[in-house]
Structure 1
Amino acid sequence: MKYLRYFADYPSNGPAKFLVRVYVLKILDVASKDNSEDQDPSIVISLGKKRYKDHQRNSQSSDKSMFGEMYELRCTIPEEYLLSLSLYDSEGGSSEELIGQTSIDLEDRIYTKHNACVGLSRKYDLIGPAKWRDRRKPSAILEEICCLNHLPPPSYPDVATVVVNGVEYRNHNNTNSEDSIWSLDKKENICLSILHQWHTLPLCGYHLVPEHVETRTLYRPDKPGLSQGKLLMWIDIFPLNSKGIPPPVDITPPKVEEYELRIVLWDLYGLNIRNLMTKKSVDVFIRGFIGCSDQAQTTDVCYGITDKASFNWRMIFHICYQHSESMLIVKNRGPFTEYEEKIPPNFVLQIIDNTSEQIIASLTLSLTDFPRGVKLPQNCSLNFDEHRKINLFLTRSVRAWWPLEGADNCGKDVLMGAIDLEMTLLPKEQADLVPVGLGRGPPSPLPDPHESSATCFLCYYFSGREANNEDHLCGKSSFIRRHSFMISLTVFAIIVAIYFILCVDTSIVQEYLQNIGILGGDISEEPMQEANQLANS
C-alpha cells in the first residue's frame, strides 16, 4: 500500500482520448527548387494512422505564405502520440512535391509537469482577442500544481490576496470594494502571476510553459539537417472527458478590403509666392499621391498664378486597406519576385512650380485621423491639428478648405495658402456602380474652371492687371489665355463694326460712299427709309 500511494501521482497506463487543436499561422523561408515564388503550399497532417489534408484554405490575404488555419483532431494516447505536419507544393499540376515536414510528440506534452497542454497567457481575460484559452482557471491550475508538489492548497483571505506555502501574494492595485465585478478577475490574475513565477519557489519551483508561438523547422528525409523552411504554429490539447472546453481561437488573417479614393481639387486661394520668388506670377500644377509617390497623379498647368486659381480636377486612387492594422497593402512586383508592403494611409498634395519643378507648398492628411477643415479659406492656419479629427473610412465623404504649408527662405514653416478639397471614399463594389472620370472627363465630368469672356481679356490687357473677380484658367482654356490679345482685338473690331452698322445714321454712310465713288447719285428714298427704320429698331 505504501508503494501504491507513491505512484498515485503518475497517470494511468490505460488509453486516454484527447482533443488536439493545431493552429498554423504562417510559413517562412520555404525552399524552392527553381527560385520562383509561384508556390501554392498546402499542409497534410498525420496523427497515427489518420491523415488529414487541407483541401480548402480560407485565407483572405493574397500572400500565399499566410495560412491562418486551425485544424481540430482527436487522438488516443499512447497509440496516436506522434503528430506530423508535412508541407507540399501543389502549384502547376496534380502531383504534389514534399517541401518539408516536422513531428511533435504529443505524449510528452500531455504528461510533462511543465503544463505544456495549453500555454499560460500573460493576463486572465474572458473577452477580447487574447481571452483565456485553457479549460481550467489559473486558480485551479495553481491548486493542481500545489497538490503535485505536496504543498497545502492555496488560501484566499480576500479577493486581492493569495497565500501559497505560507507566502502571501497581494494585488498592489488600489480597489474600492470586494463586491466589484472585477473581484474574480483580480483573484485569477494573482494566481496567474504566481504561476509565471513558480520557478522562483525554493525546492519545488520549475518553469511552466507560457503562451507562445512555436517556430518549427521543416526537413526532408532525403536531405537530413538541411532546413526547407519554417512553420509558425502552436498546439492546444484538452482531455475529451473533461468539461468546459473553450471554443477555438479565430486566427483567420485580417481581411483586406478594396476602396476607391476620389479627390476633387476645386480652388486654390491666397497662394503666397512672394516668400519664395521675385516673380509676380507663377505657372503651377498639383501632384497628389497616397502611400508612395510612384503612383502620383498630376493636374494640368494653371498659368499666371498670383494668389488664386481654379482647377476642377479629379484624382482617383485604388487602395487596399487592412482595418485591423490601419495600414495600406501595396503590392510591389520585381523582376523575379512579388511582395506586399504595409504603409500608412497618408494622402500627400504638392503645389509645384511648372518652370523649376520646385515644391511651393504641400498638404499631408492621414485618411484615418486628419483634422477637420474650415468653411472659409481666410480661417485656415497652421495650427489646424487642434481641430476635431476625422476618419474618412467612417465619414466616407467630406469637403472643406485645408491650409497649405511651405518654407520661407529661412527654412521656417509658413502658411502658403488654402485649397478646397472634396474627398470621397467608396468600397470597390459601390464605386463600380457609380463610376466617374479622371480629370474633367466623363462619366460625371467636372465643369471647366471659370471660362472667362472676351471682356475679361480686354480688361486684363488694357488695364495692365487682371480683374479681381476672375480666376486663372487651366488646361485647354490656357490656350485662350495665351492668345487672348489677338482674340481681344478681333472681338473689339467686331463690336465696332456692329456699332457703326446699327447706330450710325445711314445718310452719313451714303454720302461718304457717294464721295468715294462706290455709290451713284440715283438712289431711291424708299430703301433708305427702310434702312433708317431698321437702324432705329
Structure 2
Amino acid sequence: MRLLFAFGLRPAPYANRHALRFHDDLDDHELVEEREFTWWTKFYNSMYWSAAEMCHEHKHRLVIYYEELEKQAQFGYLQDWAVPVQLVHGVKFKKHGPPKEDIYATLKLQLKLTPCQCPVLEDPGGGGDMVRNMSNPIHPRHQSTLQSLGETVKLLVRVYVVQGVQMRPRDVKGDSDCYVKLFLGSKTFSDRAHFSPNHSNPVFGRLFEMEATLPGDHMLQVMVYDHDKIKDEVIGQTNIDLEDRWRTRHRATVGLANEYTKSGYNHWHDVKLPSEILIDLCQKRGIQAPYYYGNVIEVDGMLFGDETLISKDEELQERLSLAVLKNMDKLPSFGYKLVPEHVETRSLCRDDFPNVEQGKLQLWIELFEANIYVPSPIDITPVPPADFEVRVVVKNLVGIQAGDKNIFGKLMSDVYVIGWCEDEDKRQSTDIHYRSFAGDAAFNWRMVFGLKYSPNEDLMVIRRKAGLLEEIEFKKPPIIYLQVWDKDVLTKDEYLAALELNLSNMYAPYPAAQLCKPYPKKRKRINLFKRKVINGWFPLQSNAHPSQRSQAAVQNGKMQLSIEVCTDVEAVNRPAGRGQDPPMALEPPYRPDSSFNPLTHPCKSFQHILWPVIRKYVLWTLLILIVILGLVLFFSNLPAKLMTIPLE
C-alpha cells in the first residue's frame, strides 16, 4: 500500500472526502495580474463570497467574523488554557445608577481533578491532608506548560485596524470625524492626524506596531474618538486580552491563510512554514511526524489531500501541511480547530452607557516573539478608486413575447429597457418599441453610467448623503442591471426579464442570436475593464421581480448589447451622448410601420391598426351591398322592361 502511495498511485480513495471534493478545472477566465491586487481584494472578495453577487473564484479570501474572536465557540472562547475569575472588593453605589461590583483584579486559573491513591497518614487527627506529596507526577507536557506560565514573554504586537461600521456621532450636526487611539500598559498610540471626516463607516486601513510584556501588558484597549476642534469625544472602546490569544492552543497569534503562497497579496506572513508548524504541533502532542505519500499526507493515522484551488504552483509539501492544519479538528490526538486568517468585528461601548453599542470596529491582531525575526507587515493602506464611464448600447431584443392582447385578441407587447449601475433611483430608460408582435424589439439606444471603481479591491465605491453634512460610503461589485418591461396604459407596467452583468467578471457574449443560450458553467469569463469593448448577445434571466408575484414571462429572451468602459480621461476626449443624441449620435433603429404610439397618432392608428383588421370585412360588405343594389335595381326595373315587350 505504501509503495503505491510512494509512486503517487490512486491516492484519492484514501484521502479525506473534504479535501478531494474539489475538482481541478476552474472557470476559464481572462488572466488577471496579481500585482494589481492588494489585501483589500481578499477582504472584499470574502465579504461577497456567499452572497448573490459572488465575486471571482480565482481570488484568495479570508474569514470575516461578525463578532469578537473570543466569542467564537469553535475556538473555546480562547479560554481553553485558563478561565478568568474576577476578584470583587465590595459594591459601588452610584447616585444615578444601579450598584456595581468593585472589581480590582482578575485571576486566571484552570482546575483539573485527577484521581490518585494517597498513603494513609500515621496521625489522621493531626491534620496535614492538604500538604501530602502527589502520588502521581505531573505529565512532562503539563510541567513545561506550567513553567512557561511563570516566565516573562516579550511580544511584538501588530494591530491592523480595517474600518468602522455604523459609528454613532457625538456632535449635534450628525457627522463623525473618527480616529483610533490605542492603550497598552503605559504606552499610548494616537492616530489623530489621520481622522476620517464625515463618515459613519470610516475606512481606516491603519497599522499599529508595539511591544508588550506578558503577563504584565496583557490588556489592549482600542478607543475610537470623534475629532473636534475644541475637545475630542470618545465614541466607544473595546478591550482585547492578548494573553488569551498567545497561550490558547487554537494558535490565535497569526491566522492560517486559506492557501499557501510565497509572494503576492496572499503571501505567507507567519514566522514558520506550514510544514514547520505541523511538525511542532506533532512533537508537542507526542505523535509521529507527518509522512508524505506522493499527493497525500499521513498524520495521526489519517490521510489528507491537497485543497489548493489557486496557488497550485507552490511546494506540494507546504500545501499538504496546510491542508492538515485546516482540519486539525478531525485528528484524534487534537480535535480542535486552529484560527484562520480573519478579520473580527468588535462592538464599541462607553463607560457611561456600558450596554449600548456605539458602533463596530473591524480589525485583526498578530503576535510575534520580540527576540526573533518577524516578517514584514501587511500594507492595508486603502487605494482611492478611479473614475470610469460605462456606455451600454441596447441594440435588439429577441424572444420577448408577453401575454398582453390588443382589442382584437392578438398577442403584443410595448417593450422598453431600463438600466442602472450605482443607484436604482438614477436609472435610465430606452424609448418604447410599440406593438411588438413577433417578440422582437429594436432600440439602438445608449445608456451612460459613471462609477468609481477600484481595481485593487475589484469593487465600485458608492457614496451617498445620509444627512445634511454626513456622507456614507459602501462598496459593491461593478454590476450593470438591465430590465425589460412591458408598457401598459391602464395598469402597472409588466416586468418581463432581467440581465445582470459584472463588468470585471462577466460571461463572454455569443456572436449571434441563434447561438445564444443559457450560460454553461465552463463558459469563458472576461474582464471588461481590461478588454474595454465587447459586443454580442446575452441570454436574459427570467427571475421574478420583487414587486410582482408572478414569474417573468420571458423564458428564451436574448439581448444584443455593445458595452464600452472608458476612463475619465478617455470619456472627456471622446464624449458620447445618451439615447441617440450627439456627440457620437446613433442611427434610429429599423422598426415596422405598426410600431408607434396609437394615442398620439390617430390617423396612423386607423391606417396601421384598425384598417388591416377590418379591411376584409369592409370589402365584403361593399361587395355584398353592390350585389344587393344590383339585384334591387334589376328586379325594380324588370316589370317596366317586361311591359315594353310587344305581345304577338
Where on the TM-score scale, by shorter chain, does this alignment land: which range?
0.5 to 0.7
Matched, 1:84 2:221: yes
CA distance in 2, matches of 1:389, 1:135: 37
Corresponding residue number in structure 2 for 1:491: none
Matched, 1:121 2:256: yes
User: Which of 15, 18, 40 is matched with 2:155 structurally?
Assistant: 18
Corresponding residue number in structure 1 for 2:350: 220
- The more displaced of 395-404 and 67-76 is 395-404
Quick one: which amino acid aligns to residue 272 of structure 2? Answer: R
Corresponding residue number in structure 2 for 1:171: 303
Q: Check whether the contact 2:179–2:226 (CA below 8 A) recurs between aligned residues.
A: yes
In our comparison, the structure showing a higher alpha carbon Rg is 1
Give the Å deviation of 1:261: 1.8
* Offset from partner CA, 1:410-430 (integer Å, 9 cap, x none): 9864667x7653221223343
Corresponding residue number in structure 1 for 2:577: 437
Corresponding residue number in structure 1 for 2:362: 232
Give the Å deviation of 1:398: 2.5
CA distance in 2, matches of 1:266, 1:190: 50
CA distance in 1, matches of 2:292, 2:383: 42
Matched, 1:345 2:479: yes
Give the Å deviation of 1:43: 0.3
**Pairs within 5 Å for 1:311-322:** 311-321=443-453
Give the Å deviation of 1:118: 1.3
Corresponding residue number in structure 2 for 1:425: 565
Gaps of 5+ in 1: 451-468, 486-537
Matched, 1:155 2:286: no
Report the secondary structure of 1:188's partner residue: helix
Give the Å deviation of 1:70: 2.3
Q: Check whether the contact 1:363–1:405 (CA below 8 A) recurs between aligned residues.
A: yes
CA distance in 1, matches of 2:476, 2:534: 25
Q: Check whether the contact 2:388–2:565 (CA below 8 A) recurs between aligned residues.
A: yes
Quick one: which amino acid aligns to residue 134 of structure 1? Answer: D
* Offset from partner CA, 1:193-213 (integer Å, 9 cap, x none): 685568x64xxx796762354
CA distance in 1, matches of 2:280, 2:414: 76
* Offset from partner CA, 1:310-360 (integer Å, 9 cap, x none): 644322122345667866555565678856474772431425446456448
CA gap 1:11/1:440 in 2 versus in 1, 3 angstroms: same
Quick one: which amino acid aligns to residue 428 of structure 2? Answer: Q
Matched, 1:446 2:581: no
CA gap 1:426/1:60 in 2 versus in 1, 3 angstroms: farther
Report the secondary structure of 1:10's partner residue: helix
Matched, 1:295 2:426: yes
Give the Å deviation of 1:438: 1.9
Corresponding residue number in structure 2 for 1:247: 376
CA gap 1:400/1:182 in 2 versus in 1, 3 angstroms: closer
Report the secondary structure of 1:184's partner residue: helix
Q: Check whether the contact 1:45–1:84 (CA below 8 A) recurs between aligned residues.
A: yes
Q: Check whether the contact 2:416–2:429 (CA below 8 A) recurs between aligned residues.
A: yes
Q: Check whether the contact 1:261–1:425 (CA below 8 A) recurs between aligned residues.
A: yes
Quick one: which amino acid aligns to residue 366 of structure 2? Answer: D
Matched, 1:39 2:176: yes
CA gap 1:182/1:31 in 2 versus in 1, 3 angstroms: same
Corresponding residue number in structure 1 for 2:535: 399
CA distance in 2, matches of 1:187, 1:287: 51
- The more displaced of 382-391 and 19-28 is 382-391
Q: Check whether the contact 1:361–1:405 (CA below 8 A) recurs between aligned residues.
A: no
Identity rate, percent: 24
CA distance in 2, matches of 1:410, 1:61: 43
Matched, 1:364 2:493: no
Corresponding residue number in structure 1 for 2:202: 65
Counting matched residue pairs gives 441
CA distance in 2, matches of 1:173, 1:206: 19
Report the secondary structure of 2:417's partner residue: strand
Q: Check whether the contact 2:274–2:318 (CA below 8 A) recurs between aligned residues.
A: no
* Offset from partner CA, 1:464-491 (integer Å, 9 cap, x none): xxxxx9767889xx98996999xxxxxx
Give the Å deviation of 1:21: 0.7
CA distance in 1, matches of 2:585, 2:335: 73
Corresponding residue number in structure 1 for 2:390: 261
Q: Check whether the contact 2:393–2:445 (CA below 8 A) recurs between aligned residues.
A: yes
Report the secondary structure of 1:313's partner residue: strand
Give the Å deviation of 1:42: 0.6
CA distance in 1, matches of 2:539, 2:241: 64
CA distance in 1, matches of 2:154, 2:195: 29
Q: Which has the higher contact order (CA 8 A, sep 6+)?
A: 2
CA distance in 2, matches of 1:306, 1:190: 59
Give the Å deviation of 1:44: 1.0
Q: Check whether the contact 2:251–2:338 (CA below 8 A) recurs between aligned residues.
A: yes
Q: Check whether the contact 1:139–1:191 (CA below 8 A) recurs between aligned residues.
A: no
CA distance in 1, matches of 2:530, 2:198: 23
Report the secondary structure of 2:529's partner residue: helix
Give the Å deviation of 1:171: 2.0
- The more displaced of 79-88 and 122-131 is 122-131
Quick one: which amino acid aligns to residue 432 of structure 1? Answer: V
Give the Å deviation of 1:282: 7.5
CA gap 1:265/1:279 in 2 versus in 1, 3 angstroms: farther
Report the secondary structure of 1:155's partner residue: coil
CA distance in 1, matches of 2:175, 2:150: 48
* Offset from partner CA, 1:76-121 (integer Å, 9 cap, x none): 556655432221011x5353111222334445644x3636561452
Give the Å deviation of 1:397: 1.5
Corresponding residue number in structure 2 for 1:383: 517
* Offset from partner CA, 1:282-330 (integer Å, 9 cap, x none): 8946332135643222234566766687644322122345667866555
Quick one: which amino acid aligns to residue 345 of structure 1? Answer: I
Gaps of 5+ in 2: 1-136, 308-312, 544-549, 608-648
Quick one: which amino acid aligns to residue 23 of structure 1? Answer: Y
CA gap 1:25/1:196 in 2 versus in 1, 3 angstroms: farther
CA distance in 2, matches of 1:74, 1:121: 22
CA distance in 2, matches of 1:124, 1:274: 52
Quick one: which amino acid aligns to residue 50 of structure 1? Answer: K
* Offset from partner CA, 1:380-438 (integer Å, 9 cap, x none): 4763546765543343223345677999x99864667x765322122334323322222
CA distance in 1, matches of 2:540, 2:145: 78
- TM-score calculated relative to the size of structure 1: 0.62
User: Which of 270, 275, 278 is matched with 1:134 structurally?
Assistant: 270
Give the Å deviation of 1:260: 1.7
Give the Å deviation of 1:40: 2.2
* Offset from partner CA, 1:236-268 (integer Å, 9 cap, x none): 11123213x223234456865543221234466
